[in-house]
Amino acid sequence: MAVKLTALGRYLPAKIVTNDDLARSVNTSDEWIHKRTGIRERRIAAPHESTSTLAIAAAKEVLNKRGIDAWEVDAIVVATMMPDSPFPSVACKVQHEIGAINAFAFDVSAACSGFVYSLEIAAQFIKTGATRNALVIGAEVFSRFIDWEDRSTCVLFGDGAGAAFIEAGEDENFLGFVLRADGLGQNLLHMPAGGTALPASAETVKNRQHFLKMNGLELFEAVVPMICDAILDTCEKAGVLLEEVQLIVPHQANIRMIEEVAECLEIPLERFMLNLQKYGNTSAASIPIALLDAVEEGRIYPGDRVMLVGFGAGLTCAANIIRWDESFIK
């Protein structure tokens, strides 16, 4: 069974935090942040919002665009590493709240690669005939786990959700993919406490072990080669030359990282979709949000080959190539 992507949706919290706002609370400046990251501002979830509420809003938008009732959805896959709670899954909350009574639902934890992981997992159900369609969501509320006194991390992340609807089609539009992991780099980006290895306690809270920890330089050096290899290997699997890919939509981590990848592959930065200046790093939500921005900016046309590339904690990396179907609903 062939697979096509027919609609996209997103939800972004209303609150905007600019670099100047951060400069009033930590030793930084708009110039310092923008020069090193490319980011100007980011969205922050309101106190009443959580990962599931963001995911639900994005899900409702994409189903409304597609013009399909929730009971017709066969599967819901949510990519997140910041769920409302360890269990139940965010996907089950989405399933209940939107009324997708016939859908099975589960979460995927693959950090910033999570959306591409989830998209390809969902696509396999359709390709085997197990489902007719799937709702795939990337959603994160990173702001609850950021040390707002640490300028090396608090300037990077934002909150948001993006969703895609995929379904069976006549022509195969999911042309090829790779999913990668390298656990050797597991401590380069992690949250030390809160799980079974180091359960929450007064001591872990006092030691600020429930905040994200990152070794930025080592992460950069480890991830860039992974990204370049994944891009080239995906092209090979899809039977597509890199120059035949019209647009690359990477995880919106850091402008320097994306510039390094462009240089490594000897392709112009203009072939990458960038919106991190507006939203920062929204982890698993960044790719679907950027993909929808690209559509709205008129950067994607029917027949175009679009590459999605995720990379992040784990370490994980994932890429795929999608041929843009003429049935896509803006």
264 as an active site residue: the answer is no
Catalytic residue among 112, 154, 228, 235: 112
Catalytic residue among 133, 254, 275, 281: 281
Q: Who's near 58: CB < 8 A, 6+ residues apart?
A: 9, 10, 11, 137, 139, 161, 162, 163, 288
Catalytic residue among 19, 228, 251, 317: 251
317 as an active site residue: the answer is no
Angstrom distance (rounded) from CA 90 to CA 320 = 24
- DSSP per-residue codes, 231-266: HHHHHHHHT--GGG--EEEE--S-HHHHHHHHHHHT
251 as an active site residue: the answer is yes
* Cβ-based neighbour number of residue 264 at 10 Å: 15
- Cα–Cα distances (Å) from 248 to 63, 97, 183, 191, in that order, read 25, 33, 26, 29
Partnered with residue 79 across adjacent β-strands are: 108, 138
Q: Who's near 313: CB < 8 A, 6+ residues apart?
A: 81, 111, 112, 186, 188, 189, 190
Residues designated catalytic: 112, 251, 281
